[in-house]
């Protein structure tokens, strides 16, 4: 199954660590949302959106990319990393719902975070995502890519 994952991974590269492991599993194209706003996704069977938690939601570049480029009726999935609090998925799900996408699932895990007051204590979720988180993401991807 040909897959594209549109992502934004900043600060500590938590989300990108997970995606790099997924890419090694097969025919997966990574597209950095903030540097590539115009891609024809119609040739992909499965489309993922991945981001860290930015003010309780997916990064704006990922949301804008989904709004502009997600073709109608595609199979989609979400992957996210977070420090203290999981992001609200309502904004990205609203976009995928408007496009008539079939939600295949979501996967989230902790990621090292030094934002704001966390910097004062050396950050939280140190060492995350870890091997177990990455293995979980790979299993999630392998399961949904078989459907």
Ordered by where they begin, the domains of the chain are 3-145 (3.40.50.360)
Per-residue confidence (pLDDT) for residue 22, from 0 to 100: 96
Per-residue confidence (pLDDT) for residue 39, from 0 to 100: 82
Phi and psi at residue 131, in whole multiples of 5°? -60, -40
Cβ neighbours for 102, distance < 8 A, ≥ 6 positions apart = 73, 74, 75, 76
Per-residue confidence (pLDDT) for residue 114, from 0 to 100: 58
- Stretches where the chain sits below pLDDT 50 are none
Per-residue confidence (pLDDT) for residue 88, from 0 to 100: 85
* This prediction's pTM: 0.91
Cβ proximity of 3 and 29 under 8 Å: yes
Per-residue confidence (pLDDT) for residue 119, from 0 to 100: 57
Per-residue confidence (pLDDT) for residue 75, from 0 to 100: 98
The Cβ-side half-sphere exposure at 68, using a 13 Å CA radius, reads 14
Q: How far is CA 80 from CA 38, 43, 49, 73, in A?
A: 22, 24, 8, 22
Per-residue confidence (pLDDT) for residue 111, from 0 to 100: 79
């Amino acid at each position: 199954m040909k897959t594209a994952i549109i992502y934004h991974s900043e600060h500590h590269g938590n989300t990108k660590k997970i995606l790099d492991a997924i890419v090694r599993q097969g025919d997966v194209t990574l597209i950095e949302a903030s540097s590539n706003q115009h891609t024809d996704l119609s040739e992909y069977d499965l489309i993922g959106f991945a981001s860290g938690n930015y003010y309780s939601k997916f990064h704006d570049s990922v949301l804008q990319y989904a709004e502009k480029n997600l073709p109608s009726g595609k199979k989609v999935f979400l992957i996210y990393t977070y420090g203290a609090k999981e992001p609200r998925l309502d904004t990205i799900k609203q976009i995928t719902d408007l496009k008539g996408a079939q939600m295949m699932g979501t996967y989230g895990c902790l990621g090292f975070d030094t934002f704001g007051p966390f910097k004062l204590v050396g950050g939280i979720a140190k060492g995350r995502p870890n091997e177990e988180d990455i293995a979980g993401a790979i299993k999630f991807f392998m399961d949904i890519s078989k459907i």
